[in-house]
Structure formats: structure tokens, C-alpha cells
Structure 1
Amino acid sequence: MPASPSALRPISEVARDLDISDDHLEPYGRDKAKVHLDVLKSGRKPGKLILVSAITPTPAGEGKTTTSIGLAQGMRRIGERVAIALRQPSMGPVFGRKGGATGGGLSKVEPSNKINLQFTGDFHAITAAHNLLAAAIDNRLYFRDFDLDPTRVLWKRALDMNDRSLRKIVIGLGGRSQGVPRESGFDITAASEVMAILCLSDSLADLRSRIDRILVGYAKDGSPVLAKSLGVTGAMTGILKEAIQPNLVQTTESAPAFIHGGPFANIAHGCNSVLATRMALATADYAVTEAGFAFDLGGEKFLDLKCRSAGLNPAVIVLVATIRALKMHGGVPLPEITKPDAAAVERGLCNLAAHLDAAEHFGKPIVVAINRFGTDTAEEIGVVEAFCKGRGIPCSAANVFGAGGEGAVDLAEKVVAAASKPETPYKPLYDLDWSPERKIEQIARVMYGAAGVNIQQTAEQKFRKAEQHGYGQLPICMAKTQDSLSDDPKLRGRPQGFTLQVRDVEIAAGAGFLVALTGEIMRMPGLPIRPAGERIDVDENGEIIGLS
């Protein structure tokens, strides 16, 4: 259950833990606030960055957010000054398969119901800015005063909801007065380039500059058409003026938490905003952040996209594993993963090994966190601990859901010890002057364990076009299933000998990367047969129920 409003400290008190004055806060009620960007000029020595990632998850997820929150609470319990920087949940998964995404049990960010739903309106602002550009495009096509080929418009519309029926649509039907008929579609807001731009911008001026550079389509002569030429990028920036400021809330144990931005890691870059991360680093000695899904997706993008763009350098990588996920990778059917089976855990260690191998490539200290569930046995946990000991990697079984920070003290001590090691330089996976194909092959071989890559004809042609127009040196954002190291969601464990299929490419010029689409991954998810939204209601006291 979410904490009652009376159990939460006033947000101004939480801010004072980080020496943030009331003058730098714009409160949204008593329990959340926007924080002015001037806080980044605090003058404090920046703290150390802790990146939390995970192994390939079960469909329910492995509690990476819960572990991140519990770790920060554990660090507070051993006397460390720490802040959290996390993504805001998208309402697509909230009403879809996953439900809420604010942690769980005694390791949550609060007010969880508000964060999971409307929060401070950032997602709505991003959606509105995205759709203003879409409306401006169709307005120019209607008045025929703009050199943009209607058949080569790249910019879709956005909606913060899972709705598969909007993936491909026809707009402008009903005669000349209704607009120019053409094919289009919707992306979920978490996959919008405007979301990526907001999360990668380091100032309002940078935000505006990135919006100007958005590639919206091509003219009839094949030349690129940028958003700046539509005349509405100033208005888009105006819509996002408040949204660019990070949001401050608190955990169940009153630890400060910056919640800002929410790109998915399977179809976008999967990290909270650069500004929120820098704010946590500017106000605390340790900043705990996470990257979406497993290390092959969120972890790689955090390091190769966010860190490269923002000049960040994590001190420690924490990999979250669960006994139930290891059993799944060891061949146990999902309905049976709560049954004791140490042998299956041992077989499933191949997945953990794959992610450790990938993470070690970046040269950072690694700590394995076992997110404990009530069904885990001592024998099963011992299998993981013995494996980690054999690789010389610290491992801690943490009960963050049931015991909060108290259940993560050992994990916190191991992470702080790892962070005390001499800093190693930032080391990206690939160089920007490599061809797009070579970058993808490097990601596929090192992160996924692929034997090779097949760039299909459509994607190959778009790569050539990207290079022709000066986008060839951009880094790569892989759109890939989160259910497997491969591009086939049915392949569990550590797949071998597969060829990664790249079927399409999108140019996110404003965000500053190329999106390579693999397998059947879609930028607009669909709802499951029994979506979580069917369980959510409001009780007689006006409290939201069923949102977990």
C-alpha cells in the first residue's frame, strides 16, 4: 500500500537533506516539487555514481527499481549521504502488463499513486510538444506552402498509453477540408524523440537546439526537413519549460529521490534525465540510478549513449539477479519458478555470466545484488553466492521489499567498498567514427553474444541515407526485445550462434542517435488480454486502489 500523506515528510524538509533551499523549489502540494536548475551550481564536489542494472528478466520484472531504492536506503543507514535518480513510470505499462513502477514493499518512492499516474505533468507536456510538431507538419501540408513530401514524413504522433491499433493509421480522411490523406501512426510517449531529447539535454538552450534538429521528413528532392523550419520549436520549448526541471520526492524511509523522464530501454534509451542524475550528484556523495531492463539494453545505452553525451562515469555497476529469473533461464516454466530447484538456478547462471561478461567490458567494479523473494531457499542463494565468489565478484542477498534499508545494509557496504576503488576512465563500447553496421555488430557480439548481424535491405538503405546526410557518426540505440539476450524473445539463458536481424532504422537527429529496430519490437506496445488497468479503481474515500 502507498504511504499515507501524513506519513511523508514535507518535501521542503527532504530538500534540506540535500541543502536545497525553498527558493529553489516549486512545490506541487506538500509531497513533491520541481527543482530549479540553479541547484546544479551548488559548488559541491560531485558525488559517485552507482548504476543499477539486471539480468534478463521474467515478464514480471526482477525488482531493479525496488533494489535501487532499497540500496539507497541501506546506504543512508550506514551513514552515507545519498540521493536517487530514477525514471517516471509510463502509464502504458501502468495500465498494461506491469502495473506501477515505483518500487515495492518497504522500498518505494512516494507518493507512489501520484508518481504512477499524472505526477507533475511532464509526460503530458512531452506528448503535447510532440503532437504540436505533428499538427504543424499537417497544417503546412494542408496549405501547400512547404516543401515536404507527404509520402516521406517521418514524424508520427505520440500517446502515453499502450494501444496497438494506433501503430499504423491513415489520417486526413473526409475530403480536402479535413487535411491531406496519408499514412501515419503513433509511438508511445516513452519512445518519443522529444522524451529522449528532454532526458539528454543539459540546459533549456540545449533542449531548444535539439528540438530544432529533429528530422521530420524529406523534401521532394530528397533533402532533409528539420523541425526548425516548421516555426513551432519555440512553442515546443515553451511547453517543456517546466518539464525540464527534475522532480523531487522521497522514499518510504524519506531518502531524497529525483524522478524525471521515462524512456523505455527496449525501444528507447532507457535512462532518467541527465539533469536529474547531475542534480543527485551535485547534492549528495552518492547518486543511485538505474537503467531499464537488463544490462544488454539499459546498461549498454546508459554507458554508450547517456554517459558519452553527458560526460558521466559510473563508479560501480550493480547487477540485480533473482532466483526465479535464474530458474527461468535454467529451463523451468514460468508457473513453476517459485518451487525450490537449486539445480535449475545453477543452469540459469549462464544468463548472469553473460551480463557480467558484458559489464566487465566497461572496466568498472561490479556487485551482484540478489533481490530476495520469500520463496528463495538458502541452498539456491548459496549457488549464486558461490558462483560470484568464484569470479571474484562481491555478492549480497538483499531483502529490500520486506525490510527496506535494513535488508540492504550488507549490499550498501559492499557497494560503498567497491566505489572506494580508484576511478577508472570512461570507456565506450565503440568509436563514433565506425560505420553504423560496425557499431551494431560490436553491440551484438559483445553485449548479446550474437554470431553475426544481418542488416536487411530496408535498414541498409536507411543507413546509407543517414551517412549521406551527415548522421553516420551518431551512436546506436538498439530497439530489441527485453525477454532475451537475442532478438528472439523465446530464447532464454545464454543463446549461442544466432544472427541478429536489423530490419529498420530511424534517425533521431535531435536526440543524437540512430535507432536500429530488430525482431518484432514495436514503438507502440499493446495491452495484454487482462491489463492491469482492469484492477484499478477508486474507493469510497477517494483513494486509488489496485495500483501496485
Structure 2
Amino acid sequence: MSLVRCSHSRATIPASAAGMVNNKHNAVLVETTMTTLPPPGSPDIDIARAVKPWPIFEVAQRKLGIAHHALIPYGHYKAKLDLAQIETKTKLGKLVLVTAITPTPAGEGKTTTSIGLTDALNAIGINASVCLREPSLGPCFGVKGGAAGGGRAQAIPMEDLNLHFNGDFHAITSAHNLLAALIDNHIHWGNELNLDPRRITWRRVMDMNDRALRNTLVGLGGPAHGQPRESGFDITVASEIMAILCLAEDRKDLQKRLGNIIIGRNRDNQPVTARELGAEGAMTVLLKEAIQPNLIQTLEHNPALIHGGPFANIAHGCNSVMATRTAMALSDVVVTEAGFGADLGAEKFIDIKCRMSGLMPDAVVLVCTVRALKMQGGVPKADLDAINVEAVIEGSSNLSRHIKNLQQFGLTPLVAINRFPTDDDKELAAIKEVCLSLGAPIEEAQHWAEGGLGAKAVAEGVKAMLDGEKPDVKFLYDNALPIDDKIRTVATKLYGASDVQFNIAAQKQLDEIQALGFGDLPICIAKTPYSFSADPTLLGAPSDHVLPVRELRLMAGAGFVVAICGDVMTMPGLPRKPAALSISLDENGEIVGLF
């Protein structure tokens, strides 16, 4: 067996052991499990089950140098990190952001690429970990199925990650709905704060797609059942508490932000906060464990810190600041992802998460596929296997805009083509020509089929970027700009819009937010992820469209203003045939149908 030397350890490792590298904390020789896996194309769940995970204590000690007492185990293969036992301020590794072109039903593979790149970095001798968001039950049972990566680039235990995991989403749901219950209880028992029931803005949440709950009436049934009023439900990932958990620096900051939540207005039209209601203490208690990042592993036994799960189409789309900062303190390189396309996820990652935390990416990887570019070029999904260079070139307008958009932040991405077996060399050559004309390096990757070894070229490209000059990352707008100008800046500079149009309700909300003194907050645009515009049917790189803003929501605790555009919903609905209809237990009690 040929051997290579790990640059971060004195140990030698098998060259074929994709990602099975050791780090500076504890040198060990690790056997690869890749040859025992089912063939590429097997269901993801079968591939995941074919790998025997390391006990989580071994992952923590061997890969991150974390002692047993710093872990709070959730079974054998999952744990929370006790941040009180981990030093996170002495050093920071480098940060790699993985983003993507505009998503299509053909798939792009952002999470898969994040995991495959992490395994590949470890395979070439770099001590790396991956930071990801937690999956929501809504998409798992709705349209996407599992969200733990795919093929031979997955995080395990896959079933646990997709279903309930370590209970963080349930804790967020409970804390959110506790505040809702306290609001209605306060009104029922005399309403000392003089809350106006017509101006309560705090809705309830649940971690499931349920369109029937978007608009509801509460308090029906007479005086004993509360004050009747209009309300509704959002999905948990759209909760302000989800955003707060992911942006908080520690428990103290968490409780402060929870207290800053504005729950509505009193009859003098003045804002009322959760702190005035006295709710922030109990909410913090419910989030006491949820605030700690979760640790699991990839198929190649590299660390995966999974924490938080805001969607990028309705929230800010990044895992928690605490998980990212912790990973950067324990690893030389951290790979993280931002949700949906770069126009949503990467923009919010930089303009919200980086602005608030001070963390900045050292490199960016932009994921695309030949199939997705064909769809952006107008090819139906059923015809994607046919060679069509012209459609690839047409669809590359979408890729080009994403590259140029990232360059506005001072970041030229490495484009990673997530390769499929049906891709033709001429199609790949067309993509490479587009990227190189914009000064963007490009590499092919086959991590879905080959694991870390399949992403080695991307890892080498990322290493070259990290070894170069640190980029001068810029925000797209200054916080001092008025809110409408910040929205207009994102719409015109990134989306290709000619202008922004506020409806009457949104204009009134804009004026109120400015009058309350929150005009200097960053903005979080909620819109369809399937187009640069607010119309999901406009593919490619549409220009001169108008972005319609129908609602503004002030999230004073999270520290940003959400602009809801077009028909996007903060409570999604299930499709005609939900993924849930294919998920069940077999005769042995094993989960089937979860991708």
C-alpha cells in the first residue's frame, strides 16, 4: 500500500483512504471503508448504513482534540459540545464558504459538495471540518427527502440527522410558542401592558409544512378561552428565535436578544417587547441545551458540526455563529454552506452573519451542474440526459451572474462542477470557457460517486486559494442606508432588477420601522429561491424586472428586517405527492424511503 505523509501530523496514512486522515492532536492509522460501500447509485440510506461510525468520543478526540468531558453524548454517535469546556478564542482557522447557482429540480449538490470537499481536504493532509445546518422536518416530509448530503458524501447517522436529531428544533418551537402563549395569557388576565390584540405580530410556529395554518383565529369559544384575534403559523425555520440562536455569541447574548423581540404594539401604538412581558428567562431555559453545537461525522469519519437551520429563502440561511467559531478554533480549515443560490444564501451569509460576527470567508466555492445549467437554458427535466451544448451556454448566464455577484463582495469563487455520468466533455468545456473568461478557476468533482477522492481537485484548488492573499471582503451596502435603499441595492446589484415596488402595507411598515429607530439594521430578503426575480418561472439571468415587496417584518432580537417579496410563504405547503407518503418502517423496524 502506498503511503503519503500528512502535513498536519507525524503519522503516515494510506493514500487510498479517502478522508481517513489524522490530525495534529492524535496520530492513528485508519483503514478505509470505501470498498465496502454499496455501488454508486444505491439509495443514500443504504450507503450511510454500510459505514460503521466511529464512537463520537473518538471523532472528537482524534479529529478535534476534544476531551471526553467536553462532550454531552446523545447516544454513541452524536453529541453536543459543551462550549464552557472548549477554548474558542485563542485561534481561528480559515473559513471556506460553499454556495451554488440558482437551484433547479435537477439538483446542484451544495451539501454533498461541502461534505465531499471536507473529506478531500482531510485526504490531502489538511485538518478540516464541516459546519452545516440541521434539516427541517418540513422538506424531509415534503419535497426534498433527506438533507444529509448524498451518495458517498454524507453526514451520519443520516436517519437521526434528518428526523428530530438532538431536539434543537423542538426546543426552538417550544420557546417560540411559549412566548405566544404568554402573550395571549397576559391579555386574558387583564392586559397590564395594554397590548392591542389587533397589532400582535408574534405568530406561532411548527416544524412542518401546513398551508392550512397560515392564517388562523385564536381565542374562540367565549371569555374562558381568551381574546379572539387573527393570527397564524410560520414554519420553525422562519422563527425569529431560530435566527437569534444562529446569531447569538453565547447564552448571555441569547437571552438579551430574546428580550429584544418585539411582540406587537400597545394601544398607544408603541412597541412591546418580550422583556416587558417577562418571557426571556423561561425561553432561554428551554434553549439551554439547544444553544450548544452538535457533533457528528462524515462517512469518512471527519467532524461535522451541525447547528441551527434557517432557510435562505425566508430567513438568513446559515448555521450558527457558535458552531462556525468553535469549528474554526478546533480545525485549520472549516467548510460551511449558505442556503439556496448565492443571491440569497451567500449574500445573507456576508451581509448578516459576517457583519454581526466578524467572521469572514477566506475562499468561496460555487457549485453548479451541467444538468442545472441546461434547465436554466430552458431544457425540460425529462430531456436533461441528452447532450445540449447550446442549452448549457444559454443557462450559463445564471452561472455568470453568480460569479460576478460574488466578485462584488471581493470574492472570486472556485467553480466546482458536480459531475454526473451523463455529462459530455463538450458541455463541460463550454462551462469552463465561461468561468475562465470571468477569471474564476474551475474544477470537476465526483465526490457523490467516489467520496473525498472524487473532490481532490477541488480541495487542491481551495488550498491554493487559501495559500494566497486573503481576500478583502466587502459588504454590499452600508447599514446607514435607509431600509428601502438597502433593499433596492440588493435587488439591482444582485438580482438584476430595475427597481423595487412597495405595496401600501409594506410602505407603512417601512415608515414605522424607520420611525422606531431600526433603520440601520441589515435586511433579509425573503423571495423565491428559483429565480433572480420574484417570479420562479424566470430562468437564467433575468434583468429589468421589478421586485415587489409586500410585507416588512422587524426582527429586533435577531437584528435584521425581513422583506417578504412576491408570493413566497413563511409557512410552506406540501406538494401533490409529499415525500412522507414514501417513508415508513419495514418489518425489522428500519426506516425506508428517506432517500
- State the TM-score, normalized to the length of structure 2: 0.91
**Pairing 1:38–2:84 present:** yes
Q: 2 CA distance for matches of 1:310 and 1:319?
A: 23
**Pairing 1:8–2:56 present:** no
SS at match of 1:267: coil
Q: 1:495 aligns with which of 542, 552, 557?
A: 542
2:286 counterpart residue number:
239
Q: CA deviation at 1:365?
A: 3.6
Report matched runs for 1:478-493 at 5 Å: 478-493=525-540
1:105 counterpart residue number:
151
**Pairing 1:303–2:350 present:** yes
Q: 2:272 aligns with which of 199, 202, 225?
A: 225
Deviations 1:223-259 (Å, cap 9, x if unpaired)?
0000011122101000001000000000011110000
Question: 1:127 is aligned with what amino acid?
Answer: T
Q: 1:84 aligns with which of 92, 117, 130?
A: 130
1:334 counterpart residue number:
381
**Pairing 1:52–2:98 present:** yes
Q: 2 CA distance for matches of 1:338 and 1:248?
A: 38
1:278 counterpart residue number:
325
Q: 1 CA distance for matches of 2:512 and 2:419?
A: 49
Q: 1 CA distance for matches of 2:130 and 2:405?
A: 25
2:34 counterpart residue number:
none
1:261 counterpart residue number:
308
Moved beyond 3 Å, runs of 4+: none
Residues 40, 487 of structure 1: alpha-carbon distance in 2 compared, 3 angstrom cutoff: farther
- Does 1 or 2 have the higher relative contact order (CA < 8 Å, sep 6+)? 1
Deviations 1:358-377 (Å, cap 9, x if unpaired)?
00011124100011122212
**Pairing 1:203–2:254 present:** no
8 Å contact from structure 2 (residues 400, 434) kept in 1: no
8 Å contact from structure 2 (residues 102, 529) kept in 1: yes
Deviations 1:303-347 (Å, cap 9, x if unpaired)?
000000100110011100011110011111222223221111011
Q: 2 CA distance for matches of 1:40 and 1:445?
A: 43
Question: 1:133 is aligned with what amino acid?
Answer: L
Deviations 1:500-548 (Å, cap 9, x if unpaired)?
1111100000000000010001100000000001110111221111101
Q: CA deviation at 1:469?
A: 1.0
1:421 counterpart residue number:
468
Q: CA deviation at 1:39?
A: 5.3
8 Å contact from structure 2 (residues 80, 293) kept in 1: yes
Give the stretch that moved more between structures: 228-237 or 133-142: 228-237
**Pairing 1:186–2:233 present:** yes
1:119 counterpart residue number:
165
Q: 2 CA distance for matches of 1:400 and 1:375?
A: 15
8 Å contact from structure 1 (residues 213, 228) kept in 2: yes
8 Å contact from structure 1 (residues 5, 111) kept in 2: no
1:408 counterpart residue number:
455
Q: 2 CA distance for matches of 1:340 and 1:481?
A: 29
SS at match of 1:158: strand
Q: 1 CA distance for matches of 2:315 and 2:110?
A: 18
SS at match of 1:402: helix
Deviations 1:119-168 (Å, cap 9, x if unpaired)?
10000000000000000000011112331000000000010000000000
1:250 counterpart residue number:
297
Question: 2:545 is aligned with what amino acid?
Answer: F
**Pairing 1:155–2:211 present:** no
Q: 2 CA distance for matches of 1:127 and 1:369?
A: 36
Report matched runs for 1:335-484 at 5 Å: 335-484=382-531
8 Å contact from structure 1 (residues 365, 419) kept in 2: no
SS at match of 2:436: helix
Residues 546, 363 of structure 1: alpha-carbon distance in 2 compared, 3 angstrom cutoff: same
Deviations 1:463-496 (Å, cap 9, x if unpaired)?
1101111111110000010010111111000101
Question: 2:203 is aligned with what amino acid?
Answer: K
Structure 2: tracts of 5 or more residues without a match: 1-43
SS at match of 2:185: helix
Question: 1:51 is aligned with what amino acid?
Answer: L
8 Å contact from structure 2 (residues 106, 372) kept in 1: no
Q: 2 CA distance for matches of 1:220 and 1:42?
A: 46
8 Å contact from structure 1 (residues 340, 377) kept in 2: yes
SS at match of 1:461: helix
Give the stretch that moved more between structures: 209-218 or 322-331: 322-331
Q: 1:174 aligns with which of 221, 231, 248?
A: 221
1:130 counterpart residue number:
176
**Pairing 1:75–2:121 present:** yes
Q: 1 CA distance for matches of 2:121 and 2:505?
A: 49
Question: 1:216 is aligned with what amino acid?
Answer: I
Give the stretch that moved more between structures: 361-370 or 23-32: 361-370
Question: 1:202 is aligned with what amino acid?
Answer: E
Q: CA deviation at 1:392?
A: 2.2
Q: 1 CA distance for matches of 2:259 and 2:388?
A: 55
Question: 2:58 is aligned with what amino acid?
Answer: E
**Pairing 1:66–2:112 present:** yes
Task: Count residues in correspondence.
Answer: 548
1:543 counterpart residue number:
590
Q: 2 CA distance for matches of 1:40 and 1:197?
A: 22
Q: CA deviation at 1:419?
A: 1.4
Question: 1:13 is aligned with what amino acid?
Answer: E
8 Å contact from structure 1 (residues 18, 284) kept in 2: yes
Give the stretch that moved more between structures: 361-370 or 86-95: 361-370
SS at match of 1:152: strand
Question: 2:60 is aligned with what amino acid?
Answer: A
Q: 2 CA distance for matches of 1:444 and 1:207?
A: 31
Residues 132, 141 of structure 1: alpha-carbon distance in 2 compared, 3 angstrom cutoff: same
Q: 1 CA distance for matches of 2:345 and 2:86?
A: 25
Structure 1: tracts of 5 or more residues without a match: none
Q: 1 CA distance for matches of 2:50 and 2:308?
A: 24
SS at match of 2:487: helix
Q: 1 CA distance for matches of 2:268 and 2:136?
A: 39
